Amino acid sequence: MIKLSYNTVIDDSRLFIVAGPCVLESDEINEEIIVRLVRSCRHLSLPFIFKASFDKANRTSHKSERGPGIEEGLKKLKEIKEKFKIPILTDVHETWQCAKVAEVADIIQIPAFLCRQTDLLKAAVETGKVVNVKKGQFLAPWDMQNVVNKMKAFGVEDNLILTERGSSFGYNTLVNDMRAIPIMQATKCPVMFDATHSVQIPGGKGTSSGGQREYVPLLAQCAVTAGCDGIFMETHPDPDNAKSDGPNSIKLSEIDNLIISLNTLHLYKRWRKKEGK
């Protein structure tokens, strides 16, 4: 069991949802996204964690939108957390950011490309916060046991989540091997599935990544069927005009039906397990 702010609990009884825009948007857009997600998740009694980045350091082009930066970004995330009474997830890219981010975030996220950066993992663990590590596109799922072992050596106990987000398969292509979910669950960590970055096409537009958002529901449903503990999704009311990762973000107007379908699949899978089927 993982306990977060505002009595939010991650356990094996309910599917948890981590969602929000790729980077912090305007206050109006952030609020529109949050209100929709909070309403949808609370209606189904699902744990919800809001995610948004204050800085996207790994971009295809130096001209790409990066976000408001750590000072302004953490200020906005703190305001969101206190106003809507929801836990927060955001990512870090450098060791010095961890302690500062821990003052606001409930979950510190390690980006996929940085999942083997020993000093960054150590700094994140030492905050005492929950740490979510995304599996690198370049790693096999069983390789994440090494990451878990490393972080346990630094003192992490139960506050660790792993995320599957696709594997590199040739140029500009990611594929999902759903075996990764039970394989990584063998580490005894909850495993989340990143449904939107899994459809990303890195560098697909030359100066920015492309994506196939139409496949997000399919992959998310497959992941829930495979037994994932949580779903990670980026969403936006107008993905084509999002500041970052619009091509692989699901339209906010579609999020309610998707969450309902994912919860239904999760409940059905739990029922079958309980009945020994």
- Find tokens 């857009």 and name the residue: 29
Q: What is the pLDDT of residue 200?
A: 86
**Closest to 182 measured CA to CA, from 135, 225, 131, 228:** 228
Q: What is the pLDDT of residue 187?
A: 97
Nearest 5°: CA angle at 239, between 94 and 92? 10
Kindly state the tokens that stand for 97.
């950011």
DSSP letter, residue 206: S
- Count of Cβ atoms closer than 10 Å to residue 85 Cβ: 12
- Write the CA distances from 51 to 28, 34, 75, 162, 251, integer angstroms: 16, 10, 14, 15, 16
What is the mean pLDDT, run by run of 10 residues, along the chain of 277 residues? Answer: 96 96 96 98 97 80 73 97 98 97 98 96 97 96 97 93 93 91 97 94 63 90 97 95 87 97 94 78
Q: What is the pLDDT of residue 246?
A: 82
Please name every residue paired with 4 in a beta bridge, in sequence order, or none if there are none.
none
* Sequence-distant (≥ 6) Cβ neighbours of residue 131 within 8 angstroms: 107, 108, 109, 110, 121, 124, 125, 151, 156, 159, 160, 161
Homologous superfamily (CATH) of 2-274 is Aldolase class I (3.20.20.70)
Q: What is the pLDDT of residue 39?
A: 97
- Find tokens 């971009």 and name the residue: 59
Q: In this structure, what are the phi and psi dihedrals at residue 199, rounded to the nearest 5 degrees?
A: -105, 10
Q: What is the pLDDT of residue 247?
A: 84
> Residues 69, 128, 149, 134: what is their CA dihedral angle, to the nearest 10 degrees?
-30
Q: What is the pLDDT of residue 204?
A: 54
